[in-house]
Chains A and B, each alone.
Chain A
Amino acid sequence: MITKEVVEHVAWLARIKLSEEEKEKFARQLSKILEYFNMISNVDTSNVEPTFHVVELHNVFRDDEEKESLPQEVVLKSARESEDGFVKAPRIL
């Protein structure tokens, strides 16, 4: 059962602002989704290898060879504010 408090916590972790109605709604919907997962959890998978990835690929590598990076001015275009080549951000400790 997902409570409104859990929804609020998860929303905070994801930095999403929710209205009171949305919190109630998502609590209901998420509880429902978890019920489905509980059903899946009941399947005996003790002899099944975990699926980490849906494609049957492994060991995709690249060599340690340098490629050209983006020019600084291009990078800083995606920043709201910059200073001396740095991206400017709020101070958080």
Chain B
Amino acid sequence: MATGRDEGLDVKIGLEVHVQLTALKTKLFCGCSANYRGMPPNTLTCPICLGHPGTLPVLNRKAVEHAMMVALALNSSISRQMIFFRKNYFYVDLPKNFQISQYDKAGGVPLSTGGWVEFAVNGEKKKVRIRRIQLEEDPARLTYPGTITTSSYTLVDFNRAGVALLEIVTEPDMETPEEAYFFLQKLRSIVEHLGVSSENMQGSMRCDANISIKGGARVEIKNISSFRDVRRALQYEIIRQKQLLRRGGAAKQETRHWDEDRQITVSLRVKETESDYRYFPEPDLVPVKISEEWISEVASKMPELPDDRRERFTSDYGIPEYDATVLTSNKKIADFFEECCKLYPNPKKVANWIMSDLLRNINETGIDVAEMSITAEQFIDLLKMIDEELISGKIAKRVLREAIRTGRSPRKVVEDEGLLKISDEKMIAKIVDEVFHEFEGAVADAKRDRKAVNFLVGQVMRKTRGRADPEITNKVILSKLEEK
């Protein structure tokens, strides 16, 4: 299989992923609810998250513990003492004109440093190193009346301001957009298995990407809202930077904005250097000491991670490692598989149907796995309908696609569309008679040529929209040919 690598181009991709700690009830530094989705704007704020003078932030202990769980899961080494820094800049989404964040320079100590994530890309193992993980607050949410390009002003909702956010920074270890995509999938599966962040929630994982190719400077791409777009934005950048190279130029260091509508990256033309942020230790927060005991206590509460689950899938269900890898790359799918296996005795068959049909249809329809409406009971009901010969395997594929697209249960699709298999010999015989009448030439050929028999079977299938039992159809046709 092609690696997708641009040999000799020396593509280096690094990611900066922001993961919202959505399992927390409250924000990072105040008791306002962090559950802002679907809430009226500016109803979940207080003097602390609005940055009013004279207020003091107080750190959410559970946020630190959830962050520690992620650090442990990514093999990152947790700092014995971490401190918060102020990152100073003016923007409408930042009520205090600074963000409480962490920093790894100027004496700063983030939550954790180092680590790695291992994942599979087209069956090949890939390891990406983690540079650091830090805890920070989310800015406010901005909306633009009309569209982002035509609106003349910004609407600000501070409900999101102060929500706990993890920033996970990788080393530039990825060489293809594909690898970046699968890294993100794995990371998402890990945080979901940990139960600290849910993909069910829009915007709970956001990502900036850095990319450089041979001879060019590092380009940062911001504003990428989905994993699919991370892949697209990187593909676009590789082409753009390759063209610069071909013309004898090279990419210059800059920040570019991913324009989702036009599917291109656009230069932001802002010159901001790191020193402009004037990082300094946050005087309103005291250092956090993390003892060995605290780490062990958190470690002892860690749930099963995707890698362990993959191993368990191969041993408990006897499915191949490849299948187990695909199934555990998404927590909801892994849960779905296990639920199905409780209802059905053949795990390999369940795995095949999930991988080849369920996932493919979900991808094709663009439905998010999180929004998938089919239940394990309904899915197994479909497999049982095949076993009981109520429908053929071919029809079942069609039923599943329809069920996923419309949200109806497979059983309902079969009933609504009248897709039950026709096994009644008399009924099939009637259809065969019709076909024989229509295709007299083929009937004559069929006595000598086996291929023409297949043609006749095909015509019966066409008339019954694939519902006729192929074996019975075959049998009826052959016996009718004998009579001729």
Q: Which residues of A contact B444 (CB under 8 A)?
A: none
Given A67-B46, A84-B41, A92-B92, A62:B153 Cβ within 8 A: no
**A86 touching B107 by the CB < 8 A rule?**
no
In the complex, B155 has a CB within 8 A of chain A: yes
**A69 touching B45 by the CB < 8 A rule?**
yes
**A70 touching B61 by the CB < 8 A rule?**
no
A88 to chain B, nearest CB (A): 6
**B157 touching A86 by the CB < 8 A rule?**
yes
Q: How many residues of A contact B (CB 8 A)?
A: 35
A55 to chain B, nearest CB (A): 7
Q: Which residues of A contact B155 (CB under 8 A)?
A: 83-84, 86-89
**B60 touching A62 by the CB < 8 A rule?**
yes
Q: 1/0 per residue B32-51: CB within 8 Å of A?
A: 11000000111111110010
CA distance A91 to B142 in the complex (A): 10
Given A62-B59, A69-B32, A91-B144, A85:B40 Cβ within 8 A: yes
**B25 touching A60 by the CB < 8 A rule?**
no
**B286 touching A53 by the CB < 8 A rule?**
yes
Chain B: number of interface residues, binned into ranges: 35 or more
Kindly identify, within residues 41 to 93 of chain A, every residue whose CB is under 8 Å from any CB belonging to chain B.
50, 52-53, 55, 57-67, 69-72, 75-76, 78, 83-93
Q: Which residues of B contact A52 (CB under 8 A)?
A: 83, 107, 281, 287
Interface residues of B, dominant DSSP: loop
A7 to chain B, nearest CB (A): 14
Kindly identify, within residues 73 to 89 of chain B, every residue whose CB is under 8 Å from any CB belonging to chain A.
81, 83, 88-89
CA distance A60 to B283 in the complex (A): 13
Partner of A70, one of B45, B58, B92, B289: B45
CB-based nearest B residue for A62 = B58
Q: Which residues of A contact B285 (CB under 8 A)?
A: 60
Partner of A64, one of B26, B88, B157: B26
CB-based nearest A residue for B24 = A64
CA distance A58 to B276 in the complex (A): 29
B140 to chain A, nearest CB (A): 8
A-B complex: 3 closest residue pairs judged by Cβ atoms: A67-B31, A86-B155, A61-B61
Q: Which residues on B are within 8 Å of A, measured CB to CB?
A: 24-26, 30-33, 40-47, 50, 58-64, 81, 83, 88-92, 107, 143-145, 151-158, 257, 268, 276, 278, 281, 283, 285-289
